[in-house]
Amino acid sequence: MKYMILMLFLFSSTTWAACSPNQCHGIGKDVLVSVYPSGTGHIYLEAPADKGKLNCQLVEGHYMTLKNTHPVFEAMYSTILTALSTQKKLTVRIVENSEGCEVMYVRMFT
């Protein structure tokens, strides 16, 4: 029984949320704490607690930036909102060493 509880803990959704130098991944709400559409047209994505592992300069120390000039901006924003609302696994990949922690791509897993 003790091992079963340990296995449940290890494979729970919150266990899967994490950041590395080039991405954050996990279940929707655990990967992105908030989504903030700005007046500039960019979308700011608040990274989770271990955001310090990301190799980029977060906006105000908290946000990755999905630029409205990205060629597939609308598709990425839609993917993010879908992953958040359905609690699917999500990866947000950033451009390393970027100012504003620019989002390179997102990927949702069903």
pLDDT tens digits along 36-47: 999 999 999 999
For the ranges 11-15, 26-30, 77-81, 92-96, the lowest mean pLDDT is seen at 11-15
| Per-residue confidence (pLDDT) for residue 59, from 0 to 100 | 96
Long-range contacts of 1-9 (CB under 8 A, 24+ apart): none
Is the pLDDT confidence value at 23 over 80? yes
| Per-residue confidence (pLDDT) for residue 2, from 0 to 100 | 47
DSSP H helices in the chain: 2-10, 28-31, 73-86
Q: Which amino acid is at 49?
A: A
Assess if residue 4 is contained within a domain: no
Assess if residue 92 is contained within a domain: yes
Residues pairing with 108 in the sheet: 90
Assess if residue 9 is contained within a domain: no
Range of the domain at 67: 17-109
> How many domains is the chain partitioned into structurally?
1
Expressed in angstroms, the distance from the first to the final Cα of the chain is: 30
In the numeric block, which tokens belong to residue 30?
């655990």
Assess if residue 7 is contained within a domain: no
The CATH number that applies at residue 50 is: 2.40.50.70
Assess if residue 10 is contained within a domain: no
Assess if residue 12 is contained within a domain: no
What 3-state DSSP class applies to 60? coil
DSSP-derived secondary structure letter, 88: -
